[in-house]
Amino acid sequence: MKRLLLLLMLCALLGVLPQRASAQTCSASPSALSFGNVSPIGLSAVAATGTISISCTWPAVTLTPSVQVCLNMGGTTPRYLAIGSNQLQYNLYQDAAHSLAWGSTALGTTPISVTLSKPLTGNTATTSVNFYGQITASQPTVPTSGNANTLYSQTLSQTSLNYGFFLLLAPGCAALTTSGGSFGFTASATVVNNCLISATNVAFTSTGVLSSALNATGAITARCTNGDAFEIALSSGSSGNVAARQMQRSGGGGAVNYQLYTDTAHTIAWGDGTAGTSMATGTGSGNAVSITVYGRVPAQTTPMPGSYSDTITATISY
């Protein structure tokens, strides 16, 4: 009778546990990873953060109140956001310091892991974990398309969720055999048209009389997004007239006529496109380009001695 009772108890236990165990499941739901607007000519790394929501469910009665969840990210590294054949390099990490890459047990690298416990009330536990992306610095030649801001993206589908419920000791990720499927998501960045500009002075040599022309050069350095058309205008300075520039004497009392040109022959006056002047134009490559400014003081009546100067603003449009 005792043996029969024990056998019936074991059968009841074995009959209940597998059914209850089959209700133990975990799932993961990730957000998209958006880097927002990215200017490659800035040469800086760009970071972004995504979130994965994890949910695990237990039966009402369980002998395994804890669960180890491992989130695997497959594929090769580094990774690339792309449009057509154009690529923007980045990678995915487990930490905000971007020191531990997000990997997969299948590749012998480290997945994201998290442990959940069955709540005191209810059968479902939820948590969120962050993952981190970083676009690699110094990619100046990444282009835009059609002279417009351009979306680069990658669909990450080589993901897998493994989990294992346990009583006391958490199993390692490599030991988990229960699969919760995949949790693919999209990473994206918008590469923007942008230009950076700097200039050096046009400094004419000192002279006693202006009986012959004086020539001097300066430079404007422009760095524009690869494929980005640009034009550079020069303001009129103190004269208010791009076609008739003047340097004013420090302290007042005189002026020196001069002009700035786009060409070494001093035939194309560089201004803002009005009054017969032209602007310098080009298409960015992502690399810095030096554009020479040619200055000339024509022969003229020599004003009183002194230091003469003018302030010109260079404006780049793209």
Sequence ranges of the domains in the chain: 25-191, 195-317
What number of other Cβ atoms are within 10 A of residue 271's Cβ? 24
Q: Which residues of 281-299 are buried (b: 16+ CB within 10 A; e: fewer)?
A: ebebbbeeeebebbbbbee
Residue 138 to residue 47: CA distance in whole angstroms: 14
Order across the sheet with 308-309: list the strands: 195-200, 214-224, 288-297, 255-261, 245-249, 308-309
What tokens does 291 get? 């554009």
What tokens does 126 get? 């939820």
Residue whose token pair is 């942008």: 194
Q: Which CATH number fits domain 25-191: 1.10.132, 1.10.10, 2.60.40, 3.40.50?
A: 2.60.40
Q: Is the pLDDT of residue 3 over 90?
A: no
Query: Which pTM value belongs to this model?
Result: 0.85
pLDDT digits (tens, 9 = 90+) for 210-261: 999 999 999 999 999 999 999 999 999 999 999 999 999 999 899 999 999 9
Question: Could you tell me how many residues make up the chain?
Answer: 318
Q: Is the peptide bond before 78 cis (omega within 30 degrees of 0)?
A: yes
Comparing 158 with 20, which gets the higher pLDDT? 158
Contact 69, 26 (CB under 8 A): yes
Q: Note whether 25-191 and 195-317 share their fold.
A: yes
Backbone angles phi, psi at 212, to 5 degrees: -140, 160
φ/ψ bin of 79: left (φ > 0), alpha (ψ from -120 to 50), beta (otherwise):
beta
Contact 80, 90 (CB under 8 A): yes
What tokens does 316 get? 């780049």
Predicted confidence at residue 23, as pLDDT, reads 79
User: How many Å is the Cα radius of gyration of the chain?
Assistant: 34
What tokens does 75 get? 């594929």
What tokens does 278 get? 């032209």
Residue 22 to residue 108: CA distance in whole angstroms: 29
**Shortest CA distance to 247 belongs to which of 285, 184, 297, 205?**
297
Comparing 4 with 138, which gets the higher pLDDT? 138
**Cross-strand bridge partners of residue 66:** 117, 166
Predicted confidence at residue 293, as pLDDT, reads 98
What is the share, in percent, of the chain residues with pLDDT greater than 70? 93
Q: Residue ranges of the alpha helices (H) in the chain?
A: 2-21
Q: Which CATH number fits domain 195-317: 2.60.40.1090, 3.50.50.60, 3.80.30.20, 3.40.50.1360?
A: 2.60.40.1090
Contact 216, 207 (CB under 8 A): no
Region 74-87: mean pLDDT is: 96
Strands 280-283 and 255-261: unpaired
